[in-house]
């Protein structure tokens, strides 16, 4: 074994053995540390627009500066009658700050501590006593493009829903299955599975939850973490579990059962088209299986069964908004496009561009331009690494 390989193995096992201790310590002390020693670096800017009864906390991480897609989203929030609290996990340039002030009620600039849930927490605790007076609170972050088309309007759909808690999509709501069972795989989105959760990039919280003192307590005691997987566990899964355990009504605006029925009604040639041009993969073994499937085999019923198995494994492994980003927009009117495929690999960025290219929609054009910028940065990084 090479020295570099041995070093990697040692580091992997050290992290594996120490992570439980790190998680336990962070659970107890990270939030206290942030509140006492880090939070004073926050900057809160109050703008001329007052905070109304319907509020959105919009968490941004403008690594490449404030983009046109950010401004489009903020304009949509304003047009929907929302009061916007922008929480930025990076410092803003003064010119960008001035621009954002015109489209928001409050701007909170904070250290990037605790990922999106750290930012959501600061926004919610800023509202504090006013929470119980709100009609609706939306949490949204810029890990997605919204809106991806000019007629996409998740905000209005979510505000009109009378349930207490509404997410754009859910994940890990499916029973564990073996590869052999994947052909018979069906989405049920059962909420009693341990890892079920509503995805945190778009959530709408209604009056019944906002009037609950336990909701504020959840956020005050929320255990911050700078480990992404831990934040997903405590944040997305933790908040979803809290909603379910307290008996609040809940739903996802993306109908996974309908998507299942549509996918399983497709012919073999249609499935081949989706696998070839519209499926983003993130796991090496699935990428290998997908290439083998497309390179070897004809569009027989046996091939169709294997292709559906591969497709459903991909969806189960990463979530439908990651795996079939263009498909759910086209077939279900989904309002969001995840940014991860744009920079995860050349193949995945092509999946996005193949969907976006050819559209004359102004909102889609903004998204397409930013996807290409991600692609250019990825290509430059690869060229620099190869040099």
Please give the average per-residue pLDDT across 210-233, as a whole number.
Answer: 94
Confidence of residue 187 (pLDDT cuts 50, 70, 90): low
In a domain, 23, yes or no: no
Whether residue 201 is contained in a domain is answered as: yes
pLDDT band at 12 (very low <50, low <70, confident <90, very high): low
Pick the last residue of a domain from 253, 284, 306: 253
> Is there a single domain that holds both residue 248 and residue 269?
no
| Average of per-residue pLDDT across 355-370 | 95
| Spatial separation of the C-alpha atoms in residues 80 and 65, rounded to whole Å | 25
Q: How would residue 297 be classed by pLDDT, with cut points 50, 70 and 90?
A: confident
pLDDT at 3 > cutoff 90: no
Domain limits at 79?
A: 38-253
Residue 121 shares a structural domain with residue 156: yes
Tell me what percent of the residues of the chain surpass a pLDDT of 70: 88
**Cis peptide preceding 167, ω within 30 of 0:** no
> Would you state the structure tokens that stand for residue 44, as one six-digit string?
């809160």
Determine the 3-state secondary structure of 56 from DSSP: strand
Higher-pLDDT residue of 113 and 9 is 113
C-alpha distances out from residue 24 to 114, 130, 241, Å: 15, 33, 20
Q: Do 292 and 209 sit in the same domain of this protein?
A: no
pLDDT of 235-261, one tens digit each? 999 999 999 999 999 999 998 888 888
| pLDDT of the residue at 278 | 93
Q: How many CB atoms lie within 10 A of CB 1?
A: 8
pLDDT at residue 184 in the model: 55
Q: Name residue, tokens 């069972």.
A: 181
Whole-number CA gyration radius for the chain: 22
* Coil/strand/helix, residue 108: strand
Q: Are 335 and 311 in contact (CB under 8 A)?
A: no
Asked if residue 322 has pLDDT above 60, the reply is yes
Contact 282, 344 (CB under 8 A): yes
Pick the most confident of 7-11, 282-286, 357-361.
357-361
Q: Which two tokens stand for residue 357?
A: 């290219």
Q: What is the largest CA-CA distance in the chain?
A: 64
Do the Cβ atoms of 32 and 222 come closer than 8 Å?
no
Q: What is the mean pLDDT of the chain?
A: 89
Please check the confidence at residue 176 and state whether its pLDDT lies above 80.
Answer: no
129 vs 208: which has the higher pLDDT:
208
In this structure, what are the phi and psi dihedrals at residue 91, rounded to the nearest 5 degrees? -65, 145
3-state SS class at 352: helix
208 and 300 part of one domain: no
Lowest mean pLDDT among 4-18, 30-44, 45-59, 126-140: 4-18
| pLDDT given for residue 298 in this prediction | 80
**Residues 270, 229 share a domain:** no
Prediction pTM value: 0.90
Q: Is the pLDDT of residue 330 over 80?
A: yes
Q: 175 vs 114, 184, 193, 194, 195, CA distance in Å? A: 30, 12, 7, 10, 10
Phi, psi of 233 (to 5 degrees): -65, -50
pLDDT of residue 13: 65
- Please write the tens of the pLDDT for every residue from 149-170: 999 999 999 999 999 999 999 9
pLDDT score for 9 = 63
Q: What pLDDT does residue 174 have?
A: 60
263-283: pLDDT as tens digits:
999 999 999 999 999 999 888
- Average pLDDT, integer, range 206-219: 97
Residue 337 sits in the same domain as residue 382: yes
What's residue 172's pLDDT? Answer: 77
Mean pLDDT of 21-43: 81
Q: What is the tens place of the pLDDT at every residue in 79-110? A: 999 999 999 999 999 999 999 999 999 999 99
Q: Is residue 263 a part of any domain in this protein?
A: yes
56: β partners = 84, 138
Whether residue 2 lies inside any domain: the answer is: no
Whether residue 180 is found in the same domain as residue 324: no
Q: Does residue 22 lie within any of the structural domains?
A: no
- Tokens describing residue 233: 């566990």
* pLDDT of 387 higher than 80: no
Tell me the backbone φ, ψ of residue 332, rounded to 5 degrees.
-120, 0
Task: Specify whether 65 is located in the same domain as 92.
Answer: yes
Structure tokens of 72? 């489009």
What's the CATH code of the domain at 52? Answer: 3.90.550
Flag whether pLDDT at 353 surpasses 70.
yes
- pLDDT tens, position by position, 45-73: 999 899 999 999 999 999 999 999 999 99
Q: State the pLDDT confidence band at 229, using cuts at 50, 70 and 90.
A: confident
152 and 283 in a single domain? The answer is no
Residue 295, pLDDT > 60, answer yes
Number of residues that make up the chain: 387
pLDDT above 90 coverage of the chain, percent: 68
In this prediction, residue 189 carries a pLDDT of 58
Both 233 and 119 in one domain: the answer is yes
CA distances from 16 to 10, 13, 360 (A): 10, 5, 49
- Rounded Cα gap, residues 304 and 293, in angstroms: 10
């Amino acid at each position: 074994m090479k020295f570099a390989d041995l070093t990697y193995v040692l580091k992997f096992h050290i992290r594996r053995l120490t992570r439980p201790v790190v998680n336990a310590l962070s659970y107890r002390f990270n939030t206290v540390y942030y509140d006492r020693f880090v939070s004073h670096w926050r900057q809160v800017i109050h703008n001329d627009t007052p905070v109304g009864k319907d509020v959105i906390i919009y968490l941004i991480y403008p690594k490449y500066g404030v983009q046109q897609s950010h401004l489009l989203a903020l304009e949509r929030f304003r047009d929907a009658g929302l009061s916007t609290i922008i929480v930025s996990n990076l410092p803003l340039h003064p010119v960008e700050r001035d621009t954002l002030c015109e489209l928001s009620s409050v701007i909170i600039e904070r250290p990037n501590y605790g990922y999106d849930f750290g930012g959501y927490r600061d926004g919610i605790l800023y509202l504090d006593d006013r929470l119980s007076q709100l009609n609706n609170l939306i949490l949204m972050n810029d890990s997605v493009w919204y809106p991806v088309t000019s007629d996409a309007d998740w905000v209005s759909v979510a505000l009109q829903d009378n349930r207490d808690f509404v997410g754009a999509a859910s994940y890990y709501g499916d029973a564990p299955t073996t590869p052999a069972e994947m052909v018979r795989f069906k989405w049920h989105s059962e909420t009693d599975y341990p890892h079920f959760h509503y995805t945190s990039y778009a959530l709408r919280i209604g009056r019944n939850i906002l009037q609950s003192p336990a909701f504020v307590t959840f956020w005050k005691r929320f255990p911050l973490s700078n480990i992404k997987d831990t934040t997903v566990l405590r944040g997305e899964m933790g908040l979803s579990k809290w909603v379910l355990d307290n008996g609040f009504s809940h739903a996802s605006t993306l109908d996974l059962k309908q998507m299942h029925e549509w996918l399983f009604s497709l012919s073999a040639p249609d499935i081949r088209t989706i696998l070839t041009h519209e499926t983003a993969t993130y796991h090496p073994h699935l990428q290998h299986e997908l290439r083998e499937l497309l390179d070897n085999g004809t569009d027989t019923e046996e091939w169709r069964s294997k292709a559906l198995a591969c497709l459903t494994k991909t969806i189960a492994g990463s979530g439908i908004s990651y795996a079939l980003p263009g498909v759910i927009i086209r077939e279900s009117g989904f309002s969001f496009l995840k940014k991860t495929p744009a920079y995860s690999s050349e193949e995945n960025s092509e999946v996005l561009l193949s969907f976006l290219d050819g559209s004359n929609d102004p909102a889609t054009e903004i998204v397409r331009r930013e996807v290409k910028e991600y692609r250019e940065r990825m290509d430059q990084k690869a060229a620099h690494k190869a040099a």
